[in-house]
Amino acid sequence: MDNYITSIHFTIIIIIYFKLIMNKYIILQNTWTPYRNSLFNEFQKQGLNFKVLYMSEKESDRNWKISDNIQYEYYIDNGFYKQISYFHLHFNPKIIKYIIKNKNSECILGSSWNDINIIILLILKKIGFLKNIIHIWSEANYLTIGAIKKNNIKHLFRKFILNGIDGQYIIPGKMALITLKKWDINIKKYSLLPNTISEDIFSKNEHKEVISKNMQPTILIVSRLNERIKGIINFLNSLGTDRIKSCKIRIAGDGEDKDLINKYIIDNSYDNNIKLIGFCSYTEIIEEYLNADIFALPSYSDPSPLSVVEAIRLKKPLLLSERCGNHFEALIVGKNGFIFDPTSKTSITNAFDSIMKNRRLWLEMGEISYNLYEKTYNRSKVVSNFIQSIKYK
């Protein structure tokens, strides 16, 4: 009898084990991106069984060349796509049909909650037609431009949609957790999955020596040139002439407001202090980080910017807008940088003055930045922790 019971226990253990290791995840994404490709390659390396479904090969403002280094199973649908103002409209019946058909696979919905495909899938889940376990992968940030506007109808619909899952909420950090609670989402289970960078590219740990007191410090901004979202002119305007002329500001990136920002620089005679350096290759941007003393990001709206993660990986002190969603994990105020409200000139200037007064501590602040990177953003650790969490919670 004891042997029979032992045999049953052993069989149950084997069944549970194979269910855990063989369970396949379908990950839905709007389009291919380099940083997510690196993340998915790490998923594959660490044994997660999954397939990525891309709604389209590219979007109007996201059109990277797809890498040859894709180590996981994927499918690009190229269904209906149109950009309407700032909204990317996708509709992919083939993908919806595929997910419904593969009902034994758990589905990770990794696009915006208001995407048409996501809404359809979540409504199908609500009415019991979709049998898959559904997880929501969200970088929710209540301070983004789209989220900060109050709209009761949107709030109720979002609450109805996002409360309909039976899986986990997959979030990058504290900002998303705060936001989902503000949106009245009933979070029973969640897993952390911070945005990670390509560590094989951002692998240098060199650090500049403390610069001479007579040299002008260099501030690097890595950002899309879109004033409505990134607030670069707002930041510069708040600093004023004396502060700008006390330093060098280098702005890496391209975008629709390049001419507007360039005109601002010329009109205010800031040519010797502010440089637009345009789009940079990985090699070029790493050199920019290494030659900078401070990294700044003055965004009005930024759910979880990767440039912040790159900056702390390369040991930079930070000067960040409070609307950068990952500031909770990447910045300890007074330890490795300072934070400001981008809508307040006083807040911006106070943060700028504070970091300049701590010039002698910049090397130490850079080391703290790197330690925060290792604690939260080390890709191997992030993926290992996520896989354990998504499988066993």
pLDDT of residue 4: 52
Of 393 and 70, which is predicted with more confidence? 70
pLDDT mean across residues, the chain: 91
* Confidence check: pLDDT of 231 > 80: yes
- Give the domain ranges of the chain: 2-196+378-392, 218-376
Average pLDDT over residues 109-120: 94
CATH number given to 218-376: 3.40.50.2000
Cα gap 319→336, rounded to integer Å = 9
Q: Which helix (H) or strand (E) holds 241?
A: helix 232-244
| 2-196+378-392 and 218-376 agree in CATH topology | yes
pLDDT of residue 14: 54
pLDDT of residue 68: 84
Average pLDDT over residues 272-284: 95
pLDDT of residue 65: 82
* Confidence check: pLDDT of 109 > 90: yes
* Confidence check: pLDDT of 208 > 70: no
Average pLDDT over residues 279-290: 94
Of 336 and 83, which is predicted with more confidence? 336
Kindly list the distances between the CA atom of residue 320 and the CA atoms of 305, 310, 350, in Å, as whole numbers in the listed order: 11, 14, 12
Apex CA 253: angle with CA 250 and CA 254, to 5°?
130
Q: Name the fold adopted by 2-196+378-392.
A: Rossmann fold (3.40.50)
Q: Which helix (H) or strand (E) holds 68?
A: none
| Amino acid (1-letter code) at residue 306 | L
* Confidence check: pLDDT of 201 > 90: no
* Confidence check: pLDDT of 18 > 50: no
* C-alpha closest to that of 238 among 336, 350, 359, 322: 350
pLDDT of residue 80: 94
pLDDT, tens only, 143-200: 888 888 888 999 999 999 899 799 999 999 999 999 999 999 999 899 999 999 988 8
Q: Give the best-scoring range by mean pLDDT among 55-64, 111-120, 211-220.
A: 111-120
